[in-house]
Amino acid sequence: MAPSVVIVGGGVMGAAAAWRLAARGHRVTVLERFGPGHDRGSSHGSSRIFRLTYADPWYVGLALRALPLWQRLEEESGRPVLTVTGAIDHGSPRVVGELAATLAAAGRPGQVLSPAEAAERWPGLRSDTAVLHHAEGGRLHADDAVAALLAAASGLGADVRHGVRVRGVRPTGSGVTVGTDQGGPVVADAAVVAVGGWSPSVLPDVVDGLPPLRVTQEQPLHFAVDGALEWPAFVHHPGAGFDEPGGVYGLGSADGVKVGFHAVGPVVDPDLRDRTPDPVAVDRLEAYVRTWLPGLAQAVSEPVTCLYTSTPDHDFVVDRRGPVTVLAGFSGHGFKFAPVIGELAADLVEGRPGARRFALGRALPGTVG
């Protein structure tokens, strides 16, 4: 009989793990605390950036592995998930140069434009120095992606259960026992725990070596404007006179053009967070839009919130201890990689070694080892 795997958490990472494990013939059960399409965690909404542009070849490689998996998901589920609009990066000339060099080394060269050339092509945006365009970038519909992953997993035999709160994950001699608040415990050969912003409260009781995890509430804005779906994904990197830490990202969506600062929100408890918009943060973001996004200057903004769960090095946690595989700390840039994270999780469940880059107990900035 095929090995059984219980997946705790039905957000994008748990759903991706369910899809890839079910595709390999495992008997998969997904336990998700909230209802379908909920907005409590990090996987909801209409838009996430898909891009290849990282200065680090490791992440470029992961994005290149994720791209055909997103396309395969669309074929299997019959649901559109990824829209290719192209994507641009601008800001520090050094950063833009590094991004261009890494893309070229990966065999996916982009096109470097001047600010004037970029303004002619995308009149709604203003850039400062060089602009890197890569045609394979675009947007993922977050809600549709999670639904498609769970539907594809279900189509392969996975049992997806919403409204089930997990009370504990306990390794046993022959596998794992997952306590729940409905229907008694679930017993399986292995578990994958992917609980997003609840990781700091759940995972320390399950595995050792977890890096410090910081959960923040981020507050991007949607700007209602005609033609929002035609906007490219964009990232404005600090430098060249623009010094916002972490930079600014944006992309078109069905809800308008989404614009946000990266990883600047307050630390929160995901069960107690206040979703009331921070007027100071709104004012700062609207001031940015007035300066750099003339196509949105007259648009009405609507704040939205989501959770980031970040590690000190902004690398992810994808590792295994005994029968338990953990997926955590996706640091505000992990969504685009979800299908390949599902593959890595399936490898771990099947006993293959994980990536040292994502290991539990790894050396972190400021530590020795």
Q: What is the DSSP letter of 361?
A: T
Q: Interhelix angle for 338-349 vs 57-77, to 10°?
A: 90
234 and 299 in one domain? yes
The average pLDDT across 327-341 equals: 98
User: Which two structure tokens, joined as six digits, stand for 10?
Assistant: 């039905």
CA dihedral 164, 70, 339, 230 (to 10 degrees): -80
User: Which two structure tokens, joined as six digits, stand for 23?
Assistant: 């595709």
CATH assignment at residue 40: 3.50.50.60
292 and 152 in one domain? no
CATH assignment at residue 292: 3.30.9.10
Can you tell me the distance from the alpha carbon of 351 to that of 32, in angstroms, rounded to the nearest whole number? 25
118 and 223 in one domain? yes
Give the end-to-end CA distance of the chain in Å, rounded to a whole number: 42
Residue 115 lies in a domain: yes
Can you tell me the distance from the alpha carbon of 249 to that of 261, in angstroms, rounded to the nearest whole number? 7
Residue 73 lies in a domain: no
Q: Quote the longest CA-to-CA distance of the chain.
A: 65
User: How confident is the model at residue 245, as a pLDDT?
Assistant: 86
User: Which two structure tokens, joined as six digits, stand for 6?
Assistant: 């219980």
Q: Is the pLDDT of residue 297 over 80?
A: yes
The average pLDDT across 115-131 equals: 94
User: How confident is the model at residue 126, as a pLDDT?
Assistant: 95
Residue 79 lies in a domain: no
User: Three-state DSSP class for 308?
Assistant: strand
User: How confident is the model at residue 27, as a pLDDT?
Assistant: 98
255 and 301 in one domain? yes
User: CA 49, 50, 52, 58 torsion: positive or negative?
Assistant: positive
Residue 113 φ then ψ, to 5°: -115, 155
User: How confident is the model at residue 359, as a pLDDT?
Assistant: 98
Can you tell me the distance from the alpha carbon of 86 to that of 92, in angstroms, rounded to the nearest whole number? 20
Q: What is this structure's pTM?
A: 0.96
User: Please, which pLDDT band fits residue 58 given cuts at 50, 70 and 90?
Assistant: very high
Q: What's the angle, vertex CA 86, arms to CA 82 and CA 88, rounded to 5?
A: 130
Higher pLDDT, 231 or 1: 231
The average pLDDT across 32-55 equals: 96
CB–CB of 123/154 below 8 Å? Answer: no
Residue 82 lies in a domain: no
299 and 224 in one domain? yes
Q: Kindly give the pairing relationship between strand 166-172 and strand 48-50.
A: unpaired
121 and 149 in one domain? no
> CB pairs under 8 A, 24+ apart, for 61-65?
61/106, 62/337, 62/340, 63/336, 63/337, 64/106, 64/108, 65/340, 65/343
221 and 120 in one domain? yes
Write the pLDDT tens digit of every residue in 235-265: 999 988 888 888 999 999 999 999 999 999 9
Residue 233 lies in a domain: yes
Question: What's the total number of domains in the chain?
Answer: 2
Residue 257 lies in a domain: yes
270 and 155 in one domain? no
CB–CB of 215/308 below 8 Å? Answer: yes
User: Please, which pLDDT band fits residue 368 given cuts at 50, 70 and 90?
Assistant: very low
Q: How high is the mean pLDDT of the chain?
A: 95
Residue 60 lies in a domain: no
Residue 65 lies in a domain: no
User: How confident is the model at residue 170, as a pLDDT?
Assistant: 95
User: How confident is the model at residue 366, as a pLDDT?
Assistant: 60
CA dihedral 145, 149, 152, 153 (to 10 degrees): -170
350 and 290 in one domain? no
Q: Is the pLDDT of residue 337 over 80?
A: yes
The average pLDDT across 103-113 equals: 97
Write out the H or E segment, with its range, that includes residue 200.
Answer: helix 199-202
Tokens 């050339």 sit at which residue?
117
Q: Please state, for a pLDDT cut of 90, what percent of the chain lies above it.
A: 91
The average pLDDT across 349-362 equals: 96
CB–CB of 296/289 below 8 Å? Answer: yes
> Among 96-110, 153-167, 230-244, which is the least confidently predicted range?
230-244
Which domain, by its residues, includes 300? 87-135+214-310
The average pLDDT across 31-52 equals: 96
Cβ atoms within 10 Å of 241's Cβ, excluding its own: 9
- Which domain-ending residue is among 288, 310, 332? 310
Q: What is the distance of C-alpha 155 from the center of its chain?
A: 24
Cβ atoms within 10 Å of 78's Cβ, excluding its own: 11
34 and 9 in one domain? yes
Can you tell me the distance from the alpha carbon of 242 to that of 247, in angstroms, rounded to the nearest whole number? 8
338 and 305 in one domain? no
The average pLDDT across 302-319 equals: 96
User: How confident is the model at residue 369, as a pLDDT?
Assistant: 40
300 and 236 in one domain? yes
- Which domain-ending residue is among 293, 310, 327? 310
Q: Is the pLDDT of residue 12 over 80?
A: yes
